[in-house]
């Protein structure tokens, strides 16, 4: 009997250890997923170009810079055409933007965003001609070219129009070819900088502690967004530095997440973190609906009065007020309790946006409220 109890105890300890290990692995993330080793920042690029091949949806002749651009392009190709003879309905002037990663190499490709600059109606079906992309100092780092993907459509017949998504802004996946790598430099010889995607003092402290466990006195926190790493004397070969960075990126750490509620009023989207809490607060919510209807009324003149028939409108206004639905949030309620309470009163996404804003104004929302 004692042997059986001992075996059961060993099995229970084994299960508990595995559960703890699983939960720890589930909560921890790799450093490479929340931060990056950098020697310089990403570079924003911009350029001016032309999108051709549009089915009559391009800029009109009133867009002078598009006409001038087409004329200049043809002249560089050895073709001279009077500007007043150029039709640009299949061409649109665009601004092309891209972001050059700090570790980009010549030959690598990056995505570009194409945005209409003139009065084109859609970029659907168009292709971007070769466009130089420059940084703020005018240095050309890449050239963009390729078919534009807008992820929607825009159809118009007379006064009838159907539009899906925004068709004046599109993307070209891998549409820019890197011609020159960004300059790399070390802030200090033998030092690297680790930058967090989401700055947080607690996360920086945890990362520094985890790195120093493996490499003593290697990491030191600079601020809430970056750490300084001293490269150990592992050897003079470049692969030694690569192995060191790889070992740092593979370390697991538990990032700290701030309590935050993000609201997008345009789409009615609400995203709340798991650490969002509220103080004790009572909430009463009800909608007021105002409906206005207009009916045509025809007023005709008396016979033989030489009057005219006049059309007028009678308006009817109806105001409907729902009965208030009340809910009470207890102290230290978590996000699941908040969601259940709001679902219980039948609040729509638009209602929930207003509710969160009101709770924040009352000082009961213990989280940052971000409105996009």
Residue identified by tokens 């092309």 is 96
Residue 279 CB contacts under 8 Å (≥ 6 apart), including other chains:
331, 363, 364, 366
Residue identified by tokens 């989401």 is 198
Show the CA angle centred on residue 28, arms to residues 24 and 31, nearest 5°: 150
Same domain? For 78 and 94 the reply is: yes
What pLDDT is recorded for position 291? 56
Same domain? For 325 and 347 the reply is: yes
Which one of 124, 153, 178 terminates a domain? 178
pTM of the model: 0.55
Which one of 153, 178, 203 terminates a domain? 178
Same domain? For 142 and 106 the reply is: yes
Same domain? For 204 and 266 the reply is: no
Same domain? For 77 and 169 the reply is: yes
Same domain? For 149 and 193 the reply is: no
Residues spanned by the domain of 77: 43-178
What is the rounded distance in angstroms from the CA atom of residue 38 to the CA atom of residue 183?
A: 12
Same domain? For 57 and 138 the reply is: yes
For residue 321, the cross-strand partners are 288
Which one of 178, 206, 229 terminates a domain? 178
Token digits of residue 369: 């409220």
The answer to whether position 349 is within a domain reads yes
What pLDDT is recorded for position 293? 60
The answer to whether position 219 is within a domain reads yes
Same domain? For 100 and 207 the reply is: no
What pLDDT is recorded for position 127? 92
The answer to whether position 237 is within a domain reads yes
What is the rounded distance in angstroms from the CA atom of residue 273 to the CA atom of residue 34?
A: 17
Query: Residue 326: phi, psi to the nearest 5?
Result: -115, 140
Q: What is the largest CA-CA distance in the chain?
A: 118
Neighbouring C-beta atoms of residue 57, cutoff 10 Å = 19
For residue 299, the cross-strand partners are 310
Residue 281 CB contacts under 8 Å (≥ 6 apart), including other chains:
328, 329, 359, 362, 364
Per-residue pLDDT of the chain (372 residues; tens, 9 = 90+): 555 454 554 454 444 445 444 444 445 788 888 888 876 668 899 999 999 999 888 888 888 888 888 888 888 888 888 877 888 889 999 999 999 887 788 889 999 999 999 888 888 889 999 999 999 999 999 999 999 988 755 555 555 556 556 788 889 999 999 998 887 665 566 788 888 888 888 889 999 999 998 888 888 888 888 888 888 876 556 677 788 888 888 888 988 877 878 877 666 677 777 777 777 777 676 655 555 566 676 767 766 666 677 676 666 666 555 565 666 666 655 666 676 677 666 677 777 777 777 777 777 777 877 777
Same domain? For 173 and 232 the reply is: no
What is the rounded distance in angstroms from the CA atom of residue 155 to the CA atom of residue 121?
A: 10
For residue 44, the cross-strand partners are 99
- Interhelix angle 349-361/335-344, nearest 10 degrees: 120
What is the rounded distance in angstroms from the CA atom of residue 88 to the CA atom of residue 59?
A: 6
> What's the CATH code of the domain at 214?
3.30.70
Token digits of residue 145: 């070219």
What pLDDT is recorded for position 154? 59
Query: Residue 310: phi, psi to the nearest 5?
Result: -120, 135
What is the rounded distance in angstroms from the CA atom of residue 222 to the CA atom of residue 38?
A: 14
**Are the C-beta atoms of 280 and 363 separated by less than 8 Å?**
no
The answer to whether position 275 is within a domain reads yes
């Amino acid at each position: 009997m004692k042997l059986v109890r001992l075996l059961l105890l060993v099995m229970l300890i084994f299960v508990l250890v595995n559960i703890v290990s699983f939960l720890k692995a589930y909560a921890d993330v790799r450093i490479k997923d929340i931060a990056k080793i950098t020697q310089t920042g990403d570079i924003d690029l911009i350029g001016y170009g032309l999108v051709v091949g549009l089915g009559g949806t391009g800029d009109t002749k009133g867009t002078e810079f598009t006409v001038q651009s087409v004329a200049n392009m043809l002249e560089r190709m050895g073709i001279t055409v009077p500007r007043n003879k150029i039709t640009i309905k299949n061409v649109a002037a665009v601004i092309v933007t891209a972001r050059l990663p700090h570790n980009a190499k010549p030959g690598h490709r990056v995505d570009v965003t194409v945005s209409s600059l003139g009065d084109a109606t859609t970029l659907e079906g168009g292709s971007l001609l070769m466009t130089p992309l420059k940084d703020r100092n005018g240095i050309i780092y890449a050239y963009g070219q390729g078919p534009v993907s807008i992820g929607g459509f825009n159809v118009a017949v007379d006064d009838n129009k159907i539009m899906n998504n925004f068709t004046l802004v599109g993307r070209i996946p891998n549409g820019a070819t890197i011609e020159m790598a960004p300059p790399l430099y070390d802030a200090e010889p033998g030092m690297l900088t680790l930058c967090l995607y989401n700055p947080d003092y607690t996360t920086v402290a945890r990362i520094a502690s985890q790195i120093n466990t493996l490499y003593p006195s290697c990491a030191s926190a600079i601020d809430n967004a970056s750490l300084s790493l001293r490269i150990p004397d592992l050897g003079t070969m470049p692969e030694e530095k690569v192995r060191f960075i790889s070992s740092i990126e593979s370390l697991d750490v538990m990032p700290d997440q701030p309590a935050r509620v993000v609201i997008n009023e345009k789409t009615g989207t609400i995203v709340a973190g798991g650490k969002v809490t509220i103080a004790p607060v009572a909430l009463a919510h009800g909608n007021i609906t105002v409906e206005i209807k207009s009916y045509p009324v025809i007023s005709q003149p008396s016979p033989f009065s030489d009057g005219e028939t006049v059309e007028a409108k009678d308006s009817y206004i109806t105001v409907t007020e729902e009965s208030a639905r009340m809910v009470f949030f207890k102290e230290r309620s978590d996000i699941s309790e908040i969601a259940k309470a709001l679902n219980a009163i039948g609040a729509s996404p638009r209602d929930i946006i207003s509710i969160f804003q009101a709770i924040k104004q009352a000082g009961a929302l213990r989280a940052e409220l971000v409105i996009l």
